[in-house]
Structures are given as C-alpha cells and as structure tokens.
Amino acid sequence: MKNDLVKKYQSHAKDTGSTEVQVVLLTDRVIDLAKHLKKYPKDADSRRGLLIMVGKRRRLLNYLRKNDQKSYEKLIKDLGLKK
C-alpha cells in the first residue's frame, strides 16, 4: 500500500517532503504501531508515540485542507480516513 500511494503523490522521483507524501508515510507508521499496540496493550511509550504521530498527521491534513482542498479530499479517500 505505502509504495503505491507514495509514488502516486510524489511530485518528482525523490520527493519525500511534500505534505501528501508525509501524510501517506505517517499513515503507514500509524497502522503498524496500532497493530503493535493490539498485541502489546501495556506499551505506554509506543502509545505516546502513536498519539504524537496521529497529531502530526492531523496538523498536516489541516494544512492541506486549507491550501489544496481537492488534493485533501483525494488523499482522505485513498487512505480511508475520516474527515
């Protein structure tokens, strides 16, 4: 999932810093960490890291929504996130 979406949203071959690509990469890490926390529910440090990542992703999505509404809606749909 990650590589396909990263390639789809990259503006050039080595683009890893655009807002869309950052959101895709954070979403992939959030999914992996959520799986880890299902297996190890008492891992408080990982839970804190997950919450930090989700907050960062939310801020990036808010920025994208303000500056490029079409790209925001497309990204939300592709990732299956709530608005």
18: closest CA among 6, 28, 2?
A: 6
Q: How buried is 48 (Cβ within 10 angstroms: 0-12 exposed, 13-18 middle, 19+ buried)?
A: exposed
- Distance between CA 57 and CA 27 in Å, rounded? 7
pLDDT at 75 over 80: yes
pLDDT at 2 over 80: no
- Distance between CA 21 and CA 32 in Å, rounded? 17
Q: What is the tally of structural domains in the chain?
A: 1
CATH number, domain containing residue 54 = 1.10.287.10
More confident residue, 3 or 77: 77
| Domain extent for 72 | 2-79
Q: Chain centroid to CA 2: how far?
A: 10
CB distance 74 to 9 below 8 Å: no
Which tens digits make up the pLDDT trace of 14-67?
Answer: 888 999 999 999 999 999 999 999 999 999 999 999 999 999 999 999 999 999
Question: pTM for this structure?
Answer: 0.90
Residue 13, pLDDT score:
87
